[in-house]
Amino acid sequence: MSTACPLDPLIVARRARRDSAMALVVRCRAVVDAQVGECARIQARLDALEGERVACHERLAVLVAEGAAPVELGRADERSGLLAVRVGEARAELMAAERSLEAARNELADALAAFFRAEAKLDALGQQRQEWLRARVQRRDRVEEAMTDDLVVHRAVNAR
């Protein structure tokens, strides 16, 4: 039995609000995933730079132990310095990406909270609709019962 309930337009509006909140959650989750990927990419680059810097230091130590020419020592030291600068830049980039990730996670948490509030409101409204329909059925049943009682009384009176 499909009965128009006065709450139906509000249910449609709340369902649209819930769906919109879910779409926002999906978008925020995609942003978080992208930020996580970016942080992982930067971390991998940082790890590679640090590995290269360690290898450069080891090479410099070997050159010093072998008594290499000052030009070679200077180039290796210069390379180590450049790698140190690139490592610092990568660390700064990683910190910025981590801050962006934290902001994206906060947005996702806010979007999830808004979705759960919208879902709770829609559920509450659905319960109110069910109560309204139950009350309507009970009223109809009482009316039918009263009509049946009146018919029985009427037949009893007229049967005499």
pLDDT (0 to 100) of residue 3: 66
| CA–CA distances in Å: residue 121 to residues 19, 40, 101, 113, 118 | 13, 39, 30, 12, 5
pLDDT (0 to 100) of residue 73: 72
93-114 per-position pLDDT tens digit: 999 999 999 999 999 999 999 9
Enumerate domains of the chain plus CATH numbers: 8-123 (1.10.287.1700)
Cβ(128)–Cβ(7) under 8 Å?
Answer: yes
pLDDT value at 160 more than 70? no
Residue with tokens 């109809």: 140
pLDDT (0 to 100) of residue 45: 96
2-57 per-position pLDDT tens digit: 568 888 999 999 999 999 999 999 999 999 999 999 999 999 999 999 999 888 88
pLDDT (0 to 100) of residue 1: 46
Cβ(25)–Cβ(107) under 8 Å?
Answer: no
pLDDT band at 70 (very low <50, low <70, confident <90, very high): confident
pLDDT (0 to 100) of residue 28: 97
